[in-house]
């Protein structure tokens, strides 16, 4: 089993969020002594129905547990939001009991005004593997082709990886989101998923996506919000020195896994060749996902954004770090870089005085040019975003 970077506490209750298939159950099983835990799986329809009708039954179940059971695990807690009120009440009691609550969606909890146990539980997010977790088994070309969901990584054959990813996007993304009653009509949402995947990593044009999907601009915005709340992806804002200006610019959207994007765009079986635009886009997506995951695990106060000018010049990633210089990161999939390739990046970074300018690339040798440090991507990600 691949050890995860995210470490969970034994002496406090937690809410652990993550998209389906990220390994939440496996991580919990590895983090807690099974002899001192009891598990309630709300993916079991009978249990979901029972607790939906009578959430207070949880208190009676917990009351009957022996003192040797110190941790109560509830999987997919968003299926029965009222259980959080019961958990809060139990946590207020004097008996030493911790709750490990997992969820693949925060949307139903938010919409229902659910009790998120403010101060009573730490909140964590789990993602697909990082290259640091995969270690010696990591293969860049396989990851760019199929992503890093744990089940995908476990399969040795490409055909099995493809079959799993197609199943994942059809049964989970397209069906279970609807089953959670997050969308009223499934057909336009399915179409939206494909169009959004084609726009992955690009500045969102809500009107164009709405036209291609056959829904309103507001519905497209709602769909993106659903993807964020179900942890299927995240919005990255455009950088601005003022928060007001930041909100006035269009964001980018990144799906949480490369393999999922390729499944949605129906290109999983096509080879991903170096020195092509598709390879460059996948490589950039991979680097941004690695940084996003590691920042969530180790540097939650960091803010990620991108910079785009009216002249269509861009810096791929900006990282605001409290108390440290702003990082400007250009991402290149090339195995060789020269100073001329980075001229626009260096010029654009001069509008951000005091910033530290980097290029993460697919080569093996570190180089220093005037105003920029060029670093092999693995070295750079580990140096700036590895465990604090």
Tokens of 318: 């900006």
Tokens of 90: 């139990």
For the chain, report the end-to-end CA distance as a whole number of angstroms. Answer: 24
Q: Between the CA of residue 177 and those of 181, 229, 272, what are the distances in Å?
A: 7, 11, 29
Long-range contacts at 306-312 (CB < 8 A, ≥ 24 apart) = 306/236, 306/238, 306/239, 306/252, 307/238, 307/239, 307/348, 307/352, 308/203, 308/238, 308/249, 309/348
pLDDT, tens digit only, all 388 positions of the chain: 899 999 999 999 999 999 989 999 999 999 999 999 999 999 899 999 999 999 999 999 999 999 899 999 999 998 898 898 899 888 887 667 899 999 887 776 765 545 566 678 899 999 999 999 999 999 999 999 999 999 999 999 999 999 999 999 988 766 666 655 567 777 888 899 999 999 999 999 999 999 999 999 999 998 898 888 888 999 999 998 755 555 558 899 999 999 999 999 999 999 999 999 999 999 999 999 999 999 999 999 999 999 988 777 889 999 999 999 999 999 999 999 998 889 888 888 888 889 999 999 999 999 999 889 999 999 999 999 997 6
Q: Between the CA of residue 252 and those of 26, 140, 199, 217, 319, what are the distances in Å?
A: 31, 24, 9, 16, 15
Distance CA 142, CA 30 (A): 26
């Amino acid at each position: 089993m691949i050890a995860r970077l995210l470490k969970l506490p034994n002496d406090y209750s937690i809410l652990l969020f993550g998209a389906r298939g990220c390994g939440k159950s496996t991580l919990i099983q590895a983090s807690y002594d099974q002899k001192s835990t009891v598990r309630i799986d709300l993916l079991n329809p009978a249990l979901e129905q029972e607790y939906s009708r009578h959430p207070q039954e949880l208190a009676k179940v917990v009351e009957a547990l022996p003192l040797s059971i110190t941790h109560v695990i509830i999987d997919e807690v968003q299926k029965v939001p009222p259980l959080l009120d019961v958990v809060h009440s139990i946590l207020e009691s004097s008996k030493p009991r911790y709750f490990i609550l997992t969820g693949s969606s925060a949307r139903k909890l938010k919409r229902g005004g659910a009790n998120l146990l403010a101060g009573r539980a730490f909140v964590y997010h789990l993602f697909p593997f990082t290259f640091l977790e995969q270690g010696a088994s990591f293969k860049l070309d396989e990851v760019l082709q199929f992503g890093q969901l744990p089940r995908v990584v476990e399969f040795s054959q490409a055909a099995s990886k493809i079959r799993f990813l197609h199943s994942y996007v059809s049964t989970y993304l397209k069906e279970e989101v609807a089953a959670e009653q997050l969308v009223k009509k499934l057909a336009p949402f399915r179409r939206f998923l494909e169009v959004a995947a084609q726009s992955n990593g690009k500045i969102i044009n809500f009107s164009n996506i709405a036209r291609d999907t056959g829904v309103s601009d507001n519905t497209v915005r709602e769909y993106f919000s659903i993807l964020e709340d179900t942890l299927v992806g995240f919005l990255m804002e455009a950088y601005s020195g003022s928060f007001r200006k930041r909100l006035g610019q269009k964001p980018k959207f990144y799906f949480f896994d490369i393999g999922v994007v390729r499944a949605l765009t129906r290109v999983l079986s096509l080879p991903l060749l170096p020195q092509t635009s598709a390879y460059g886009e996948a490589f950039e997506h991979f680097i941004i996902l690695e940084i996003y995951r590691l920042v969530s695990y180790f540097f939650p106060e960091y803010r990620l954004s991108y910079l785009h000018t009216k002249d269509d010049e861009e810096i791929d990633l900006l990282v605001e770090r409290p108390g440290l210089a702003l990082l400007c990161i250009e991402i290149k999939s090339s195995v060789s870089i020269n100073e001329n390739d980075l001229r626009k990046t260096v010029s654009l970074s001069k509008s951000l005085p005091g910033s530290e300018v980097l290029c993460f690339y697919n080569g093996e040798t570190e180089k220093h040019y005037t105003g920029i440090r060029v670093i092999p991507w693995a070295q750079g990600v580990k140096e700036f975003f590895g465990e604090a």
